[in-house]
């Protein structure tokens, strides 16, 4: 199983380059977050992401990915869309929406990948709590990324926070190891049993990305073969960082 595969160990020099890629991703997040407002299209947000990549001499690991080739440098997923929303000028953000932005960057062949969910204007308290708990579950997963722990410890930590808050955890979509490809083995599920799966070591670099929902965790894929929505139409939130395991513990690479 991909869950059992041992993540690659990266050198300090390789992690340094991934840190540079991560900082480009962080800059994309900051610029896009500032632009999120009622009346803005997800296509406009994608163009902001492209500008940040160009300014930093970085390339996108989203654009052209997969089959059919993904057409944007960001995924922009609104309300009940969990992940993989295709950015377009046909989708206009409205007051009360939420939007998750997932994006990445390649610098000198090494990848960074991260996501956040933001409110658009004023949203209900229940929805703000969904975003906050999703971020808290990501933080718990990151805390479990220490030398000697196992992959199951990460998923268990994410799931514990979500279930304690009464939220659903989307199954079938996971985090992943990351390096010279955006998605590398093993997968990092958002559920797990402590003490199971491959052992974590200093030099591992993983992208942890919980996806939580207000209702049922069941999902379906729309006709564009990309956009994943909740089956019951309840809203979803997504958060992600790229993290390296260091001798001093986890280091988030996708921060400014």
Q: What is the CA radius of gyration of the chain?
A: 17
Q: What local confidence, expressed as pLDDT, does residue 248 receive?
A: 95
Question: Tens of pLDDT along 159-173?
Answer: 999 999 999 999 999
Q: What local confidence, expressed as pLDDT, does residue 63 receive?
A: 98
In this prediction, the residues of the chain whose per-residue pLDDT falls under 50 are 1
Token pair for 214 = 């207000």
Give the residue carrying structure tokens 């993290």: 243
Neighbours of 63 (CB within 10 A): 17
Contact by Cβ (8 Å): 248, 140:
no
Question: Tens of pLDDT along 213-229?
Answer: 999 999 999 999 999 99
For residue 156, the SS3 value is helix
Question: Tens of pLDDT along 68-85?
Answer: 999 999 999 999 999 999
pTM: 0.97
- C-alpha 45/C-alpha 75 separation (Å) is 10
List, in order, residues 6 or more apart from 135 with CB less than 8 Å away. Answer: 116, 239
Q: What local confidence, expressed as pLDDT, does residue 1 receive?
A: 44
């Amino acid at each position: 199983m991909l869950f059992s595969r041992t993540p690659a160990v990266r050198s300090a020099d390789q992690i340094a380059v991934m840190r540079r890629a991560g900082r480009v991703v962080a800059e994309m997040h900051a610029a896009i977050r500032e632009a999120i407002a009622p009346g803005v299209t997800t296509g406009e947000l994608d163009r902001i992401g492209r500008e940040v990549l160009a300014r930093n001499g970085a390339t996108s690991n989203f654009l052209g990915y997969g089959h059919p080739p993904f057409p944007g440098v960001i995924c922009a997923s609104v309300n009940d869309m969990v992940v993989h929303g295709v950015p377009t000028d046909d989708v206009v953000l409205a007051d009360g929406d939420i939007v998750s932005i997932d994006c990445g960057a390649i610098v000198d062949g090494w990848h960074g990948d991260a996501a956040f969910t933001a409110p658009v204007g004023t949203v209900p308290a229940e929805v703000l709590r969904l975003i906050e708990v999703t971020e808290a579950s990501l933080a718990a997963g990151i805390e479990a990324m220490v030398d000697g722990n196992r992959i199951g410890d990460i998923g268990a930590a994410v799931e514990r926070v979500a279930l304690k808050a009464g939220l659903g955890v989307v199954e079938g979509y996971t985090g992943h190891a990351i390096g010279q490809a955006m998605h590398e083995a093993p997968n990092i599920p958002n559920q797990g049993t402590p003490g199971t799966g491959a052992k974590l070591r200093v030099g591992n670099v993983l992208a942890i990305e919980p996806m939580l929902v207000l209702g049922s965790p069941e999902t379906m894929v729309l006709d564009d073969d990309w956009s994943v929505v909740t089956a019951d139409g309840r809203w979803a939130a997504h958060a992600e960082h790229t993290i390296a395991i260091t001798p001093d513990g986890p280091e988030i690479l996708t921060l400014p």
